[in-house]
A and B are shown apart, each in its own frame.
Chain A
Amino acid sequence: MFKQCLAIMKRELFYMWRDKGLRYILLIGPLLGLFLFVGIYSHPRIDHIATAVVDLDQSVASRQVIAELRNTQDLEIACYPDNFEQLEELVKRGQVMVGVVIPENYAKNIALQRQTRVAVVIDGANITYATNAASAVLTVTRTLGAQVGVKTLIARGVQPNQAREAYQSIEFREEAWFNPTLNYAYFLVLALVLNIWQQCCMLASCMNIVGENGVRSWLQIKASGLSAFKLFFSKSIVHIGVFMLLILPVYYLAFVIFKLPLNCGIITFLLFTLIFAISLHSLGTLISSFSSNAVDASRFGMVVALPSFVISGFTWPIAAMPQWFQPVAWVLPQTWFFQGINYFVLKNPGWEMMSRYFLVLGMMAVLCYGLAALFTHCFQARFR
């Protein structure tokens, strides 16, 4: 029994290796993805956002505004256009993301305690930029408002300590938990690489059944009396083993070389990856069982695998999706996996919560393998 299983496993490994297309995808895909995404997010924070200042006042007070803008790490003054039209043109062409217009007589109006208005424009076309820029501008606004307010109050005869107290008695401290530097690489790189990995694994899983009963050797296998369970069980062990072997160098590079965070133990994380690999393989096997050929199986597999990352709510949260759609999102194993890795990697909320993720992924695997067996049985019956 064991010998027979071992022989099937050897044969499967050999076949996987000989399928050159799949071999390159599995060996190179995830690693290439890792290097690519580490490269893309090598500057992991959107800071130094190009800013243009139209200083129509050219006074000491206006230069103070500029100094305030310079003080924030998120903004970087790139140029000083002469007028609003030039600024508008720069924003239109995407050369600056933020524009600040300090009006004429700015200093004079402040000195005379007249109202004055500083205009800020933010290019909202890319909201990754815009959200960051808006936060930076709001911080500057508060600081600037406080500085001018204190000066105005003192000029009106209010005691300096009272003037400061009016504006600065409450300090707001902000902390970003789990990712204190708001590092985009910590948030996204590992998930994107695992997304590539799961797509590659899906392509391999989709060959599980159709790769056997779609070729003429299937008749030979049937004639040999080998049970379908033994055959596909042994094949699946090899597939899942290969998937796990492929992810090991990725995890090594990600956590050891590129120093991506991992808040849970590596064994727990590997176990979580393993249960997902089984669940994903079961889904691929299910797809393979009802597909009429390998190309269709690959297409079906990818139709599921491609949008699964977006559906998983890893970026745009599930809570913001329509109410009725939210349970649908949780039907995919990828949703449990990507949500799970976000928790494991950055939060580690404990076994009590995460055991549910293991349980659901395990149950999905049982269900998909069961259905795949049923479909394969029905298919066999058709050709008997």
Chain B
Amino acid sequence: MKQLLNIAYYEVVHIFKDRILFLVVFVVPLIYASLLGLIYASSILQQVPLGIVNLDHSAESRAIISAFENSNDFRVIPSVDTYAGLEQGMKNGTVRAGVVIPEDYSQRLAQHQLTQILTVYDGSNLIYGYNTRRFFQLVLNTFSAEHTAAYLGGLGMSKQEIKSVMDSVSVTTQVWYNPNYSYSTFIFPGLIIIILHQIGLLGIGLTITREKERNTWLQYLCAALPQWKIFMGKALPYFIVNFFNYGLLLWLAARFINVKLEGSLALILLLGLLFNMIITSLGFVISLYAPNSLQVSRYLMLMSIPLFFISGYTWPGTHMPALLYGLGKLMPFTWMAEGLRWVTLKDLGANYLAITIIIMSCMAAVTLFLAVTFTKRRNPAAEGGLVVNSGSTYPKKNLLD
């Protein structure tokens, strides 16, 4: 136990001595989470800039304008009032949606003829596009109902009769788990997990490469220390810090970014524990076999975006080719992000997460096994390893001291 703690102490000293590593392990997760929290602070897309081209200028057409003005989802931009202006505004981003009321709108209504209102929205950003489409449907459903009620009133029907006709079928729509369509509730837990994934791997990923670069790894290999002790000692500080970061970022999300975090605390902790075990042992294994710190830093950082998108966290796996969907399922991030969403957002119990927990446990077992069974034989230095500007090690300014 003392040996293990000694190794852990030595590792902690390293973390504190390497200022950048210290920042990466302790500060960067918090900075990233705060930055992303800021970006998604508003959570809900509202006040979509809207241009209304009213070619009719009648009381009827003004009723449509009022319907949009009264909606909190849209913000009418008065300066965009011609079709050319709308086209230009949509191109340069002044407006993201538009309504065109034809010039014979009121006339056709009066003549009991079918008339058409054009609604356009910007499909170049589909966050805007999909939301605007939904906002249009909401406003137009309300407007249609009002129009119908007014028409029936014109036929001489009483308010009671109109209500009875119009309410003959009502559709109540409930959006479960995220009723406000909060973007931060949707995306933020996934972003927290990818931050922890990357920073977790990056922290421990340098632990052996650093020793190799300083020729001190040999000491570990020669010492009468079993592999599991080396692993445990090296991994312990990172495991504790990662778990602390996990709790900290989730607290930050719930407290300051208003992300909906519900569900069983025990399950949240269990998932965090399993994920942390996978990441810590996987990072150790990567560090064992990576040629140097620079390669680890380069490759690990580039993985984050592909990992996030292949996981099906945003774009559903059901709409991906089976091969990519299957590949995503091999990644611990996929299971952790989905599991955390099920617990914190859907408030589901352990029976729903049984498969997730079993698979993550298997992943943890495999990575732990690999981490504690490495060979203690020292391999000769790899030929043609790192060659930045023909150097056999990566460039360091203090070489000139």
Chain A's nearest CB lies how many Å from the CB of B174? 5
Contact A166 B152 (CB under 8 A): yes
A154 to B133, CA, bound (A): 32
Contact B134 A138 (CB under 8 A): yes
Contact B320 A325 (CB under 8 A): no
Contact A203 B298 (CB under 8 A): yes
Chain A's nearest CB lies how many Å from the CB of B68? 13
Contact A124 B305 (CB under 8 A): no
Chain B 259-284, CB-CB to A under 8 Å as 1, else 0, gives 00000000000000000000000000
A33 to B310, CA, bound (A): 11
A295 at the interface (CB under 8 A from B): yes
Other-chain contact of B168, A127, A148, A176 (Cβ < 8 Å): A148
Contact A126 B114 (CB under 8 A): no
In the bound complex, residues from chain A placing their C-beta under 8 Å from that of B198 are: 306
In the bound complex, residues from chain A placing their C-beta under 8 Å from that of B168 are: 109-110, 113-116, 148-149, 152
A142 to B112, CA, bound (A): 20
In the bound complex, residues from chain A placing their C-beta under 8 Å from that of B109 are: 169-170
A305 to B166, CA, bound (A): 55
A98 to B397, CA, bound (A): 60
Contact A310 B297 (CB under 8 A): no
A160 at the interface (CB under 8 A from B): no
In the bound complex, residues from chain B placing their C-beta under 8 Å from that of A149 are: 148, 165-166, 168-169
B158 at the interface (CB under 8 A from A): no
Contact B389 A211 (CB under 8 A): yes
Q: Contacts A22-B298, A124-B177 given: A187-B28 contact, CB under 8 Å?
A: no
B72 at the interface (CB under 8 A from A): no
In the bound complex, residues from chain B placing their C-beta under 8 Å from that of A162 are: 155
A169 to B112, CA, bound (A): 7
A364 to B307, CA, bound (A): 31
In the bound complex, residues from chain B placing their C-beta under 8 Å from that of A298 are: 294, 297-298, 301
Interface with B: A215-223, A270-278, A366-374, which one?
A: A215-223
A178 at the interface (CB under 8 A from B): yes
B1 at the interface (CB under 8 A from A): no
Contact A128 B165 (CB under 8 A): no
A182 to B147, CA, bound (A): 30
B107 at the interface (CB under 8 A from A): no
A108 at the interface (CB under 8 A from B): no
Chain B 117-150, CB-CB to A under 8 Å as 1, else 0, gives 1111111111111110110111011001101100
Contact B176 A172 (CB under 8 A): no
Chain A's nearest CB lies how many Å from the CB of B136? 7
Contact A182 B123 (CB under 8 A): yes
Chain B's nearest CB lies how many Å from the CB of A119? 5
Contact A130 B181 (CB under 8 A): yes
Contact A218 B119 (CB under 8 A): no
Other-chain contact of B169, A118, A138, A215 (Cβ < 8 Å): A118
Chain B's nearest CB lies how many Å from the CB of A114? 8
Chain A 156-167, CB-CB to B under 8 Å as 1, else 0, gives 101001100111
A299 at the interface (CB under 8 A from B): yes
Contact A199 B166 (CB under 8 A): no
Q: Contacts A293-B396, A315-B125 given: A171-B114 contact, CB under 8 Å?
A: yes
Other-chain contact of A302, B124, B301, B315 (Cβ < 8 Å): B301
B306 at the interface (CB under 8 A from A): yes
Q: Contacts A134-B134, A307-B36 given: A120-B165 contact, CB under 8 Å?
A: no
A21 at the interface (CB under 8 A from B): yes
Q: Contacts A192-B305, A317-B128, A349-B91 given: A292-B123 contact, CB under 8 Å?
A: no
Other-chain contact of B130, A137, A182, A307, A325 (Cβ < 8 Å): A182
A29 to B304, CA, bound (A): 13
Contact B171 A15 (CB under 8 A): no
| Residue ID in chain A nearest B137 by CB atoms | A138
Chain A's nearest CB lies how many Å from the CB of B120? 5
A59 at the interface (CB under 8 A from B): no
Chain B 7-32, CB-CB to A under 8 Å as 1, else 0, gives 00000000000001000100010001
Q: Contacts A91-B176, A170-B117 given: A215-B389 contact, CB under 8 Å?
A: yes
A232 to B131, CA, bound (A): 48
Chain A's nearest CB lies how many Å from the CB of B180? 8
Contact A127 B116 (CB under 8 A): no
A383 to B304, CA, bound (A): 38
In the bound complex, residues from chain A placing their C-beta under 8 Å from that of B35 are: 307, 311
Contact A184 B126 (CB under 8 A): yes
A71 to B41, CA, bound (A): 38
Q: Contacts A153-B165, A207-B395, A211-B389 given: A170-B320 contact, CB under 8 Å?
A: no
Tell me the chain B residues, 287-306 only, with Cβ under 8 Å from chain A. 293-295, 297-299, 301-302, 304-306
In the bound complex, residues from chain B placing their C-beta under 8 Å from that of A126 are: 186, 314, 316
In the bound complex, residues from chain B placing their C-beta under 8 Å from that of A114 are: 168
Other-chain contact of A135, B123, B130, B167 (Cβ < 8 Å): B130
A330 at the interface (CB under 8 A from B): no
B362 at the interface (CB under 8 A from A): no
Interface with B: A35-43, A236-244, A250-258, which one?
A: A35-43
A174 at the interface (CB under 8 A from B): yes
| Residue ID in chain A nearest B165 by CB atoms | A152
Tell me the chain B residues, 332-371 only, with Cβ under 8 Å from chain A. 341-342, 345-346, 348, 352
Contact A176 B133 (CB under 8 A): yes
- In the complex, 27 of the A-B residue pairs with CB atoms within 8 angstroms, ordered by the A residue number, are A21-B294, A37-B309, A41-B315, A42-B320, A43-B320, A118-B169, A118-B170, A119-B171, A125-B178, A126-B316, A134-B134, A142-B144, A144-B171, A176-B120, A187-B129, A192-B305, A199-B305, A214-B395, A215-B390, A218-B400, A294-B394, A307-B32, A309-B305, A314-B125, A322-B42, A325-B39, A342-B124
Q: Give me the 4 closest cross-chain CB pairs, A-B, nearest first.
A: A214-B395, A179-B123, A124-B178, A176-B123
Q: List chain A positions with a Cβ less than 8 A from chain B.
A: 15, 18-22, 25, 29, 33, 36-37, 39-43, 46, 50, 91-94, 109-110, 113-132, 134-135, 137-139, 141-142, 144-146, 148-149, 152-153, 156, 158, 161-162, 165-180, 182, 184, 187-188, 192, 195-196, 199-200, 203, 207, 210-219, 292-296, 298-299, 302-303, 306-307, 309-311, 314-317, 319-322, 325, 342-343, 346-350, 353, 379, 383
Q: List chain B positions with a Cβ less than 8 A from chain A.
A: 20, 24, 28, 32, 35-36, 38-42, 45, 49, 88, 90-93, 109, 112-131, 133-134, 136-138, 140-141, 144-145, 147-148, 151-152, 155, 161, 164-179, 181-183, 186, 198, 206, 293-295, 297-299, 301-302, 304-306, 309-310, 314-316, 318-321, 323-324, 341-342, 345-346, 348, 352, 384, 386-391, 394-400
Given contacts A42-B321, A43-B319, A175-B118, 12 further A-B contacts (CB under 8 A): A15-B390, A92-B352, A118-B169, A131-B134, A171-B116, A174-B118, A196-B302, A203-B298, A214-B399, A215-B389, A293-B397, A306-B301
